[in-house]
């Protein structure tokens, strides 16, 4: 099974990757298209030089690997994808050959977390528009609504949420998914030192989230724009 987990940044996505990596039957890949995205857009990101040096910059090669041989002959290949990395011109036909899952989080939580790591996020930076776009494409390709899971529900009750997710995609749940070793993971991307501090200090999912944060006025318009796409995937 090849699982493509689609989310924006600051969305519990790395913790989910660590959760699946804890399964003995699963290989993981951290943001396969990141280097190709930076190479194509020319955007400046934290640790950008390291990302470009470490990653494959040809999106066609990346896509072929996503549907190719599973690493280490594992039966499950979990791919942590950022929706905003799938820019115009990157072929998406390969999506028909993987199990697509969409990980969502309330925009206010995403924006508050992202802004603490990188200033002045835009709608394209946080991936909500692209997530809805990819969701629609998968619906058209498969004729079915793909699985959507909210990070809020995972934080509230990790075991129940993960059991439900595994059932929905036809995978046997493994309690190993609930914990992982503290510290970096061998499959972390080159950008991990900048972004992964919290998950490196964890050994499992953090507790339930509190109230939705109130954002400064400068982010209100961004939140409103993102909410439209978030609510679309909720229902």
Of 117 and 27, the structure prediction assigns the larger pLDDT to 27
Average pLDDT over residues 83-112: 96
Which residues are 99's β-sheet partners?
Answer: 3
At residue 49, the pLDDT reads 97
The whole domain housing 194 covers 2-234
Global pTM value: 0.95
Residue 55 has pLDDT above 90, yes or no: yes
Q: Given this model, what pLDDT does residue 116 score? A: 79
pLDDT(90) > 90: yes
Using pLDDT thresholds of 50, 70 and 90, give the confidence band for residue 4. very high
Give percent of the chain with pLDDT exceeding 70: 100
Mean pLDDT (the chain, rounded):
95
pLDDT exceeds cutoff 80 at 216 = yes
Taking residues 55-80, report their average pLDDT.
97
Show the CA angle centred on residue 147, arms to residues 141 and 151, nearest 5°: 135
Q: Say which CATH number the domain at 113 has.
A: 3.40.50.300
Mean pLDDT of all residues in 44-68: 97
The reported pLDDT for the residue numbered 121 is 87
Asked whether the beta carbons of 162 and 174 are under 8 A apart, the reply is: no
- In the predicted structure, residue 36 carries a pLDDT above the cut 80: yes
Per-residue pLDDT reduced to its tens digit, 109-160:
999 988 877 778 899 989 999 999 999 999 999 999 999 999 999 999 999 9
Residue among 106, 89, 71, 103 at smallest CA distance from 33: 89
What per-residue confidence (pLDDT) applies to 162? 98
- Rounded to a whole number, what is the distance in angstroms from the first to the last CA of the chain? 26
pLDDT band for position 29 (cuts 50, 70, 90): very high
What digits encode the pLDDT tens for the residues 185-207? Answer: 999 999 999 989 999 999 999 99
Q: What is the pLDDT of residue 174?
A: 98
User: How many domains does the structure of the chain reveal?
Assistant: 1
Nearest partner of 11 among 114, 132, 163, judged by Cα: 114
The region, left, alpha or beta by phi > 0 then psi within -120 to 50, assigned to residue 188 is beta
- Which pLDDT does position 115 carry in this prediction? 83
pLDDT surpasses 90 at 68: yes
Rounded CA-CA distance 153/130 in Å is: 22
73: how many CB neighbours lie within 10 A of its CB?
Answer: 7
Query: Taking the CA of residue 230 as centre, how many other CA atoms within 13 Å lie in the half-sphere pointing to its CB?
Result: 21
Q: What one-character-per-residue DSSP string does 75-123 give?
A: SEEEEEEEGGGS-TTS--GGGGGSEEEEEE--HHHHHHHHHTTSSS--H
Strands (E) located in 158-230: none
């Amino acid at each position: 099974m090849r699982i493509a987990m689609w989310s924006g940044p600051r969305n519990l996505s790395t913790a989910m990757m660590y959760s699946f990596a804890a399964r003995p039957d699963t290989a993981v890949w951290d943001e396969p298209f990141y280097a190709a995205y930076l190479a194509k857009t020319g955007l400046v990101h934290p640790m950008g030089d390291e990302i470009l040096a470490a990653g494959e910059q040809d999106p066609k090669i990346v896509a072929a690997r996503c549907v190719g041989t599973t690493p280490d002959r594992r039966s499950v290949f979990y791919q942590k994808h950022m929706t905003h990395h799938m820019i115009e011109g990157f072929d998406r036909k390969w999506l028909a050959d993987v199990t697509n899952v969409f990980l969502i989080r309330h925009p206010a939580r995403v924006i508050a977390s992202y802004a603490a790591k990188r200033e002045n996020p835009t709608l394209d930076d946080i991936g909500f528009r692209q997530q809805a776009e990819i969701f629609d494409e998968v619906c058209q390709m498969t004729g079915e609504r793909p699985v959507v899971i909210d990070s809020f529900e995972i934080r509230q009750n990790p075991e129940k949420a993960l059991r439900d997710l595994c059932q929905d995609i036809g995978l046997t749940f493994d309690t190993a998914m609930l914990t992982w070793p503290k510290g970096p993971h061998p499959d972390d991307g080159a950008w991990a030192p900048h972004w992964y501090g919290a998950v490196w200090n964890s050994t499992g999912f953090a507790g339930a989230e509190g109230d939705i944060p109130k954002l400064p006025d400068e982010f209100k318009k961004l939140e409103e724009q993102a909410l439209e796409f978030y609510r679309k995937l909720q229902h």
